A and B are shown apart, each in its own frame.
Chain A
C-alpha cells in the first residue's frame, strides 16, 4: 500500500513523482531534510518510532553492504512493521522484496554505483521487486554528474551526502567533472557559493557549491522528464563519465524493463545526435513493429526513397517531387537513420515524424547495418506483395544499404531498378524522370484504397499483426488525410486518426467492434463504478501486461464500458494504489 508517493509523469524508467508529506516534494529530489533514520539493528535493538506525516521514516533496519553473503542476508533479514506514516524499508539489491512501505533504500548502493552493468542489474531487480508506485532511494551516491543517469534508470530520491563528502575532500563537482579544487584557478560556476574570491573559497564552500550543482541538475532532470526528453539529454551528458555511458547502454540491453516503461507516443522530438539513439526503445520498437506487425496491402511496386528533414516526409520539397513522379503508382517506403524504414501509411506514427537527425550525408557502419537489417526484415515479410522494386536512392549510404540487402538476398529475385544515376541526386530532373519511367504502365491506386490501407496499417502497428484486417475489413473513410475518420457501412464512426502521433482514437462503437474481433485487446478491468475523466489506480482490478503508456485501452467493469488512453503501463495499473491509470474518452453505463 503506498499512501505517500505518487507518480505523475513518466519518461521511460524515469518518473516525476510526488512525495506526499505534510509539505509535499516533487521528485526526483534531494530528501536529506525529510528523512529520519530509526537506526540500525546491527548496533542496538530499536523500537519502531512514532513517526509522522512530515517526515519519511527509515524503519529499523539491518543493512547488508555489498559483498554480504546470501546466507547472512537471509538469516538476519528484518520484518518491517506495518506503520501508518510515510516509511522506508532498507533492502539489498540482491534480496529486494515488497515490504509495503512507501519507499525503499538500497543498502549496497556504494557497491553498485560506478559500474554500469552492476548498477543496471541492481536497479532492474529492485524495481521489478518493489511496486511501481513506490519511491527508490539511493543515499550517499548522487553527484551533479551521475544523478541524471540514476534518475533515468529509475531512482527517485537522493541526498546531498556524496556531494558534501566530496566537497570536504576538495573535489569540485560539475555535471561534467570532479575537479580537484586546488587545480582550479577560477571557479567554473556562478552559484551563490561560488561568488567568493577564489582564494577565500574553502572546502566548506566547495561542499555548498556541490550541493547547489546537484540541485540545479535535478531541476534539469525533472524538466527533462516532464518534456519526455531525458534520454536526449543523457546521450550527451553521460559522455562525461565512462561508467555512465556504459550504464545507459546496459539499460538499452534491458529491453523488457525499459520497453515496458517507455510510452508509445510523445509530443517531444527525439534528437538523433549519437550512435546510441539507434538503441533507444522508441527506435527499436518502431523497427520491430514495422517488420513484425505491419503488412503492405498495396499491389503496386515498392519505391524506396531517402527520408527528408521535414516531417512528415510527404510535406517536404523532395517528397513532393517524388510524388509528382510516382503519382500513387508505387508504394513509397522511406529509408532513414535512425528509424529504419517508414512505409507511407506510417509516416506520421511516433517517432517517424518526431525525430531530428544530424545531417552530414556521412553514414556510420552501425547506421548502415541497422537500416539494412530493418530493410531486409521488411522485405522478408513483404517482398512477395511487390511485383518489383524501384530504388530511388542516392549513392552514399542509401544505395550501399539497398545493394547490401540485394546481395545477401536469398529469396525470389527482388528485381530492383536503380533510378538515381551514379553521383546524381534523387531530385535531379534525370532521376525524377527515371523514377516516372520505371513505373510506367502501373495503375494508380485510389484515395479510398490509400486511406483504408493507412488506418489498417496504423491498427496493425498499434494493436498487432493482422489487427488492421480484423478491425477495418469493411469500412468507409471520411474527412481529409491525415485526420481520417473511420466509419462502418452504416456511417457510424469507429475511430479517428490522430495526426500528431499517427495513432487511432476509438469511439465507443469502435471499441465494441475491437473487443469482438480476434485482434489483441488492451483491456483494463475496473471495479463496479462508472468512470468519468480518469480511472485511478485503486479502481483497477486488472490490466493487460501489454499495455504501454499512450496505448488505446478498453475500460470495462460490471457497471461500465469505455475507451481511453493509458497513463500507466499495464502491470503498473494493476499493482498501484495511487495515481491516474488511464484517461477516459468515452464511457457508457451498462
Chain B
C-alpha cells in the first residue's frame, strides 16, 4: 500500500506556509507595551503534588516569543502582547517583578506558596531572561514553596533548575507540549519540537531533582492544547487522551494541564473562526478527557479560558457554567465522580458531533 502523502513537515513546506501566514496575520496588530509592566498578574489557587496552594501567576513581558516572530503557533495571540523590537533589560524585568509583588501584597492575605512565571516564550532562554535576572528572581522567591517556570524543552537545563532548587524551592518547568502527537504538534499547531525533546527535558528535570537539596523537588508540568485547528471534535478528544497517557508515563512529568483552545485575535485560528471554519471544543469534551484519564499517574488539570463564550470552549449556553464548575472542582480534588453530577440535553448533540463530525463537514455546530 502506498502512502497517500509525503510528510510535508519533514520538507518544511507546511511550516513555511504556516509561518508566512501567521506573520502576515500578526503584522496587522499595531500595539506596543511598556516593558516595565508585566503582561498580566493574578492570584488563584492551584493543585500541586503537595496539595492545593495559593498561587501568584505572572506573565512576564520578556520581549516575547522568538518563534512567534518567525510566525509561530497557529492559535497563539500572546506574542502580540510583547514589546516591540525584542529584549527587555534586567532592570525593566525586575520592575515587572516589583509590580507583581505589589499586586500580591495588595490583593492577597499572605505571600502565595506557589509562584508561576510564564513569558510567552522561555524563561530559561538566555536571550529572554539573562543569568543575572534569573538569579535575582530565584533570590526574590527563595522563601516560597514552589515555583513554576515556563520554557521550551530545548532550554531546560539541570543547572538552571538547580539555581532555584538550591533555595529549597520545589521547581517545576512548564512546557507547552500541546500534544504528544508530533504530527499534530507540527502540522496543526506549528510548534517545531518533537515529543522526544520533551522527554529529554523531563530527563533534565529528573536529573535536577536527583541533584536537588533535601526537601526540594524538580519536575515538569506539561501543557496540552485541546483541539488545535483542523481536527474534529473526536480527533481532538482522542489526541488529548493519548497525550495525557503518554505524558504521565514520562518520568519527571508529574502534572498535565490540558487546556481547551480559545480563539485569540491575530491568529490563524481566528481567521478560521471568522469564516465558520473553527469551533472551540465542547466543555463536555474537556470533562470527558479528564474523566477518561483520571487514573493516570499524574495530576491532570484543566483551566478553560473564556468558557461559555463563542470564542472559548462551550456547550449549549445553558450548562456551561455548571460544567466549568465541575472541571474546576476536578482540578482540585481529582475525583471524576464530579462529572456524574452534571448533565444537559446538549450532551446528545455533543455525542452526535463526536460520531458524525468529519474533516469535510466541520464544524458541525456553532
Contacts and interface: CB of A to CB of B under 8 A. Distances in A.
Interface of A: 37, 40-48, 58-69, 71-72, 74-76, 78-81, 90, 105-111, 137, 139-141, 159, 161-162, 164-165, 168-170, 203-204, 207
B356 A63 contact: no
Contacts of A207: 352
Interface string B1-25: 1111111100001101110110000
B28 to A, nearest CB: 13
Contacts of B278: 65, 67
22 contacts: A40-B232, A41-B4, A42-B187, A43-B239, A45-B5, A58-B360, A59-B4, A65-B363, A66-B276, A67-B271, A67-B278, A71-B20, A72-B21, A72-B268, A75-B16, A76-B14, A107-B359, A109-B361, A110-B276, A139-B360, A165-B365, A168-B349
A431 to B, nearest CB: 61
B352 A164 contact: yes
B105 interface: no
Contacts of B349: 165, 168-169
Contacts of A71: 16-17, 20-21
B348 A37 contact: no
Contacts of B29: none
A496 to B, nearest CB: 51
A203 B7 CA distance: 44
A161 B1 contact: no
Contacts of A141: 361
B17 A61 contact: no
B5 A63 contact: no
B184 A61 contact: no
Contacts of A61: 359-360
Contacts of B70: none
A83 to B, nearest CB: 10
B124 interface: no
A159 to B, nearest CB: 8
B4 A66 contact: no
Contact of A43 (B16, B18, B231, B361): B231
Interface in B19-56: 20-21
Give the top 5 A-B pairs by smallest Cβ distance, nearest first. A140-B361, A67-B275, A65-B277, A63-B359, A66-B277
B361 A48 contact: no
Given A65-B272, A110-B364, A140-B364, 5 more contacts: A43-B181, A43-B184, A62-B230, A67-B275, A71-B21
B352 A75 contact: no
A170 B345 contact: yes
B362 A43 contact: no
B4 A65 contact: no
Nearest to B232: A40
Given A74-B17, A203-B345, A68 B1 contact: no
Contacts of B274: 67
B346 interface: yes
B346 A169 contact: yes
B359 A79 contact: no
Contact of A203 (B187, B273, B348): B348
A582 B347 CA distance: 54
Contacts of B299: none
A167 to B, nearest CB: 9
B348 A168 contact: yes
Nearest to B366: A110
Given A48-B1, A66-B276, A67-B274, A75 B17 contact: yes
A168 B282 CA distance: 15
Contact of A168 (B6, B238, B352, B360): B352
B39 to A, nearest CB: 27
Nearest to B24: A69
Contacts of B7: 45
Contacts of B6: 79
A162 B361 CA distance: 9
A109 B362 CA distance: 8
B245 interface: no
Interface in B219-248: 229-232, 235, 238-239
Nearest to B7: A45
B73 to A, nearest CB: 14
A269 B181 CA distance: 60
A69 B271 contact: yes
Nearest to A80: B4
B230 A63 contact: yes
